[in-house]
Structure 1
Amino acid sequence: MLNEALAALAAAGGTALVSAMTTDAWTSAKQGFARLLGRGQPERQGVAVQRLERSRQELAGRTGAELERARAEQETAWRLRLSDLLEDEPAAEAELRALVATFGTSASASGQRSIAIGGDNSGIASTGDNATNVQMRAEALGSGRIYQAGRDQTIHER
Structure 2
Amino acid sequence: MLTESLIALAAAGGTAVVQAAGTEAWEGVRSGVVRMFRGRPDGEAEVEPDLERTALLRASDDAEGSSRQVSLWEARFTSLLDDADDQVRQQAETELRRLVSSVPGVADRYPALHVHGNTYDKSPQQYGNHNHMQIHYGSDA
- Structure 2 unaligned regions, length at least 5: 117-132, 134-141
**Superimposed CA distance per residue, residues 116-156 of structure 1 (whole angstroms, 9 cap, x where no aligned partner):** 4224615xxxxxxxxxxxxxxxxxxxxxxxxxxxxxxxxxx
User: What's 2:115 paired with?
Assistant: 121
**Residue 67 of structure 2: SS of its match in structure 1?**
helix
User: What's 2:67 paired with?
Assistant: 72
Q: Is 2:76 aligned against 1:81?
A: yes
User: What's 2:28 paired with?
Assistant: 28
Task: Give the CA RMSD over aligned residues.
Answer: 2.5
Shift in alpha-carbon separation, 1:114–1:69, aligned structure 2, 3 A: farther
Counterpart code for 1:23: T
Percent identity between matched residues is: 35
Q: Quick check: which has more Rg, 1 or 2?
A: 2
Contact preservation (8 Å) 2:34, 2:48: yes
Whose relative contact order is higher, 1 or 2, with alpha carbons under 8 Å and at least 6 apart? 2
User: What's 1:94 paired with?
Assistant: 94
TM-score, with length taken from structure 1: 0.60
Query: Distance between the aligned counterparts of 1:69 and 1:49, measured in 2?
Result: 21
Runs of 4+ in structure 1 over 4 Å off: none
**Residue 22 of structure 2: SS of its match in structure 1?**
coil
**Superimposed CA distance per residue, residues 38-67 of structure 1 (whole angstroms, 9 cap, x where no aligned partner):** 2x56x92233222211222233323xxxx2
Counterpart code for 1:121: V
Query: Distance between the aligned counterparts of 1:72 and 1:44, measured in 2?
Result: 22
Contact preservation (8 Å) 2:9, 2:97: yes
Query: Distance between the aligned counterparts of 1:24 and 1:9, measured in 2?
Result: 22
More displaced stretch, 80-89 vs 24-33: 24-33
Matches within 5 A, 1:1-158: 1-38=1-38, 40=39, 44-62=43-61, 67-89=62-84, 90-91=89-90, 92-102=92-102, 104-105=103-104, 108=105, 115-119=108-112, 121-122=115-116
- Tell me how many residue pairs correspond in the alignment: 110
**Residue 43 of structure 2: SS of its match in structure 1?**
helix
Query: Distance between the aligned counterparts of 2:7 and 2:107, measured in 1?
Result: 19
- Structure 1 unaligned regions, length at least 5: 123-157
State the shift of 1:114 in Å: 7.6
User: What's 1:139 paired with?
Assistant: none
